[in-house]
Amino acid sequence: MPPWHARGRVAEVRSTLVLNASYEPLTTVSLQRAVVLVLQDKAVVEQAHPLRTVRGTGVTVPVPRVIRLQRYVRVPFRQQAPWSRRGVLVRDQHLCAYCGRRATTVDHLQPKSRGGTDTWMNTVAACAEDNQYKADRTPEQAGMKLLRKPFVPTPQATLMMALGLRGSDVRELADWLPAQVVAAAAPTAA
Ligand SMILES: [Zn+2]
């Protein structure tokens, strides 16, 4: 699947922010799922797209941008994001740590075959070519320089990843998100 297709799909798929009954942001869902939750009275629309509506059988519903669950859902508090391949790609903005081009794979600095672990500090996004070239070696052994060091995502980035939000979403949804998250996503003032 070409990357631009995947990107468009991801942006399309989860476009509605879901708040807990207590107004804490929980996750994002597709528009279709959001409309179903509203029609089933499981959620209410807190913010709608100003000019758009969805027409169902006999009903017209505003296109929900933010919905809130009618019943409180208990969620465990996570300070640090659990490691995942997808998480590494998102953290590194899908850019190869070695050449800066588009990355689709995750490279282990200390290869797994040499005891390397699935952790934030041991993994970076990499393009398939560089990952293949590096193979079972450390960057030093392969003579490859890292353009940037791996890091553990901050609690703000962790929430962003859990919600599947991009910077542009954060500006639009600022009213519903914790202030630190909005501040972390804001472009740096000159
Ligand atoms: Zn590369």
Q: For the chain, what are the domain ranges?
A: 3-76+161-185, 85-142
Percentage of the residues of the chain whose pLDDT score is greater than 90: 46
User: What is residue 3's predicted lDDT score, i.e. its pLDDT?
Assistant: 35
Q: How far is the CA of 170 from the centre of ligand 1 (A)?
A: 29
Query: 172 alpha carbon to ligand 1 midpoint, in Å?
Result: 33
For the chain, the farthest-separated pair of C-alpha atoms sits apart, in whole angstroms, at 66
User: Is residue 115 scored above 70 in pLDDT?
Assistant: yes
Task: State in words which class domain 85-142 has.
Answer: mainly alpha
- The CA 99 to ligand 1 mean position distance, Å, reads 4
Check: CB of residue 176 under 8 Å from CB of residue 145: no
Which structure tokens are listed for 25? 């942001």
Residue whose C-alpha is closest to residue 163's, from 98, 96, 66, 69: 66
- Please say if the pLDDT value at position 6 is more than 60: no
Q: How far apart are CA 28 and CA 86, in angstroms?
A: 16
Find the 105 Cα to ligand 1 centroid distance in Å.
Answer: 10
Residue 84 and residue 71 in contact, taking contact as beta carbons nearer than 8 Å: no
**Mean of per-residue pLDDT scores for the chain:** 83
pTM of the model: 0.60
Max mean pLDDT among 26-30, 83-87, 95-99 falls in: 95-99
* d(CA 111, ligand 1 centre) in Å: 17
pLDDT tens digits, residue range 11-27?
A: 345 689 999 999 988 88
pLDDT at 190: 37
Distance from the alpha carbon of residue 36 to the mean position of ligand 1, in angstroms:
42
91/147: higher pLDDT: 147
Q: What number is the average pLDDT over the span 117-130? A: 97
pLDDT tens digits, 38-88: 989 999 999 998 777 777 677 777 789 999 999 998 876 666 778 999 889
CA of 123 to the centre of ligand 1 (A): 14
73 Cα–ligand 1 center, Å: 42
CA 149 to centroid of ligand 1, rounded, Å = 15
Backbone region of residue 81 per phi and psi (left: phi > 0; alpha: psi in -120 to 50; beta: other values) = beta
